Amino acid sequence: MDLTARIDSGTATVGVIGLGYVGLTEAVELARAGLHVTGFELDTARVRSVQAGRSYLVDISDREVAEVVEAGRLLATTDSSRLGGMDAILICVPTPLSKTKAPDLSYILSAVEAIRGHLRRGQLVVLESTTYPGTTSEVVLATLESTGLRAGTDFHLCFSPERINPGDPSHPPRSIPRIVGGITPACARVAAHLYRRVSPEVVVVSSTEAAEMVKLLENTFRAVNIGLVNELLLMCDRLGVDVWEIIDAAATKPFGFMKFTPGPGLGGHCIPIDPLYLSWKLKTLNYNARFIEMADEINAAMPRYWVQRVQDKLNEAARPVRGSRILVLGVAYKKDVGDLRESPALDILAQLAEKGAAVSYHDPYVSAFQYEGMEMVAVADLNRALDEADCVVVATDHSAYDWEAIRARARLLVDTRRAIPALQPAAV
């Protein structure tokens, strides 16, 4: 029985390397679709959690994990030797940047090396981790073919970008189309067959490079437009006009405009990082991606802008930053998740602490964290912290907060997200 037939019959085994936001979500979705899934993860705490039927992600409930674990369709392990028993292997590992903003492929390389040691004929390998065009065909392919097996003949190799949006219940993974690019058309057909089990539509593009570029376009589009509205905020500040009024009014146009909003900067595992993968790749081809680099410069400077706003607010109240009690609400990079990766709120806290402020934070999803030498624990009593703070900074607009009550309690308020709407003028 070939792989497509095993997928159809539900007997195919799928390995997912990396059980973070992407990997665990993929594993649960595939298991719910009736396939037998093994999650490969180095973090033993995550493995124990999955094996016990518990979720560590906001978007996946304990019930959803327990349901597929108890049905025998999902298990987790640290044992990479089990990769040889998988019919399909999905690589869902992090792809961070180095300190010089160059791609760090160490997690991908480690995963591919593990697969290489157990690669066999008929297997499907799919890279889902976001990376620069050419990674699959140049890096992954060379490593796997060093076994003597050939892609498209002995095994299948593809790239399919993940499209998971943490904290977004309106777009669950099973509702999102998938993009697939294969080393050969036959490779793409097999991967597309797998993803049709969990996706309403699969779009096959001409190559792995094309599929890699699709993901980078999606996130570069967002990074550049967020950079544009962040610069608009800076311009409106100089002009003395309300940027939110401008954006809201422009958004009434039913065509030719898409609403983006300013904030404390970029965060998360995609938007602050992925466009720089593309920028780095193009530098090797003697091309300067000017839009990407300008947007990165603007977005990276936003935490310092908001720190200056805090300083200005305190100055108006005749208070120095040094010694002032400043409470930051929300340290996650976006609302209703506990993900701290690249969160600009952490930079805001660090910069205020450097200026001598007595900083504290509250976040319903983050109980404690370490960042650049700071070790912080969330305040236990939010109301008391609001009453004692000289200034409150809204860095993440979690839905759990009572924003009107926060406005009423805060002495000074700096809202980077416009979580608290401006007081509306009287109706005319």
DSSP state of 82: G
DSSP secondary structure string for all residues of 124-176: EEEE-S---TTIIIIIIHHHHHTTS--BTTTBEEEE------TT-TTS-GGGS
CA angle 51, 53, 56 (to 5 degrees): 95
> Domain map of the chain by residue range?
3-206, 222-415
The answer to whether the beta carbons of residues 40 and 80 sit under 8 Å apart is yes
Chosen CATH of 222-415 out of 3.40.50.720, 3.20.20.10, 3.10.105.10, 3.40.30.10: 3.40.50.720
- pTM over 0.85, yes/no: yes
Instruction: Give the relative orientation of helices 290-316 and 208-239 as an angle to the nearest 10 degrees.
Output: 30
Q: What is the pLDDT of residues 50-109, one digit of tens each?
A: 999 999 998 999 999 999 999 999 999 999 999 999 999 999 999 999 888 899 999 999
Report helix, strand or coil for 16: strand
Q: How confident is the model at residue 168 (pLDDT cuts 50, 70, 90)?
A: confident
Identify the active-site residue in 158, 187, 270, 391.
Answer: 270
Q: How far apart are CA 267 and CA 300, in angstroms?
A: 10
The two structure tokens encoding residue 361: 């934070």
Report helix, strand or coil for 317: coil
* Sheet with strand 413-415: strands edge to edge: 358-362, 325-329, 391-394, 413-415
Q: How confident is the model at residue 425 (pLDDT cuts 50, 70, 90)?
A: low
| Phi-psi category of residue 372: left, alpha or beta, with phi > 0 → left and psi -120 to 50 → alpha | left
pLDDT of residue 422: 76
pLDDT of residue 426: 47
Q: How far apart are CA 174 and CA 330, in angstroms?
A: 29
Q: How far apart are CA 262 and CA 233, in angstroms?
A: 7
For CA atoms 300, 306, 309, 314, give the dihedral sign: negative
Residue 92 known to be catalytic: no
- Give CA separation, 145 vs 83, 115, 123, 426, 427, in Å: 17, 11, 13, 70, 70
DSSP secondary structure string for all residues of 261-310: ---S---SSSTTTHHHHHHHHHHTTT---HHHHHHHHHHHHHHHHHHHHH
Q: How far apart are CA 10 and CA 30, in angstroms?
A: 10
Q: How confident is the model at residue 427 (pLDDT cuts 50, 70, 90)?
A: very low
Q: What is the pLDDT of residues 98-153, one digit of tens each?
A: 888 899 999 999 999 999 999 999 999 999 999 999 999 999 999 999 999 999 99
Q: How confident is the model at residue 166 (pLDDT cuts 50, 70, 90)?
A: confident
- Give CA separation, 115 vs 13, 141, 192, 378, in Å: 15, 12, 21, 41
Q: How far apart are CA 46 and CA 18, in angstroms?
A: 10
3-206 is classed in which CATH architecture? 3-Layer(aba) Sandwich (3.40)
- Cβ-in-10-Å burial (0-12, 13-18, 19+) of 116 comes to middle
DSSP state of 242: -
> For residue 30, which of 153, 169, 128 has the smallest C-alpha distance?
128
Instruction: Output the average pLDDT for the chain.
Output: 96
Q: What is the pLDDT of residues 299-356, one digit of tens each?
A: 999 999 999 999 999 999 999 999 999 999 999 999 999 999 999 999 999 999 999 9
pLDDT of residue 424: 60
Length of the chain equals 428
The two structure tokens encoding residue 295: 């947007």
The answer to whether the beta carbons of residues 56 and 90 sit under 8 Å apart is no
Q: What is the pLDDT of residues 221-239, one digit of tens each?
A: 999 999 999 999 999 999 9
| CATH topology match: 3-206 vs 222-415 | yes
